[in-house]
Amino acid sequence: MKITVLAPAKLNLFLDIIGRRSDGYHLVNMVMQSVSLYDEVTLSLHDSGIRLNCSDETIPCDAGNTAHRAAAGFLKAVGQETQGVSIKLKKRIPSQAGMAGGSSDAAAVLFGLNELFDAPLTRTELLEIAEEIGADVPFCLYGGTMTAGGIGTILNPLPDLPECCFVIVKPTFSVSTKDAYERSDVLGYDRVTSPEHIVSGICNGSLEEVGKWMYNKFEAVADVPEIDVIKRKMLQQGALGACMTGSGSAVFGLFDDEDSADDCKAVLSKEYDDVFIVRPTAEGVCLK
């Protein structure tokens, strides 16, 4: 038996870093949104060992891969560490983009294995494994529209966004998450931006307010002029707001008009290979 799980990308509508714990983990305020750009994760059981294959040859398929770690964590939790698992990743979410592709793949493995094993673990138990893998993995299990606090694992649901779409551009350059956090440490945490305005816009169903208050602190430390160039082009094409997601390097614009989004994609596709139009989704990982 095998199953295929859809693993959606995420966008950070808001991201501020508000401090750093003594153990090195950073404290954040975020508003996160899952979107309709999916990796496909196909799972099946076999005799022994975790076998991982990926359509993107640049992604390591060893024990350090988040999907591999998710499988190992699940099998340990259910006392089936000798059980073999085959994982096939069909990648569509760009890597090193700040879109949680690896985290969503891990969440898909946890969800999918729980289905294959007839749901021995509760959602709470799956979340405990997810937190050990990475801060974005719990959100990817749930999906939808949420605030995230603490190190990113304290989640609270928000109302779904009104009908809209996002244009996403992944430039050719990538941003190291580790380097981005180190630069934010140098910048300091005296100036903290509150997510209350964008949360209010979401709760009131105002896309204009959402676009106005989208924010990402990593833009201030990235110091990459191309990010601002992409944002400006999106705004010129009618975006209600534009922002980088995660630690980058993907940039997205929010549109309430599909024709404007199509025009924006056409303009940006002349310069960039990876340009997507996506919609917000109300759930995280799910069966295909």
Q: Which residues are catalytic?
A: 10, 136
| Backbone φ, ψ for residue 63 (5° rounding) | -70, -10
Angle at 131 (CA atoms; ends 130, 132), nearest 5 degrees: 90
Answer yes or no: are the C-beta atoms of 113 and 128 closer than 8 Å: no
Q: Is the dihedral of CA 72, 144, 32, 40 positive or negative?
A: positive
Task: Read off the tokens for 273.
Answer: 């290979």
Amino acid sitting at position 262: D
Residue 95 preceded by cis peptide, ω within 30 = no
What is the 8-class DSSP label of residue 94?
P
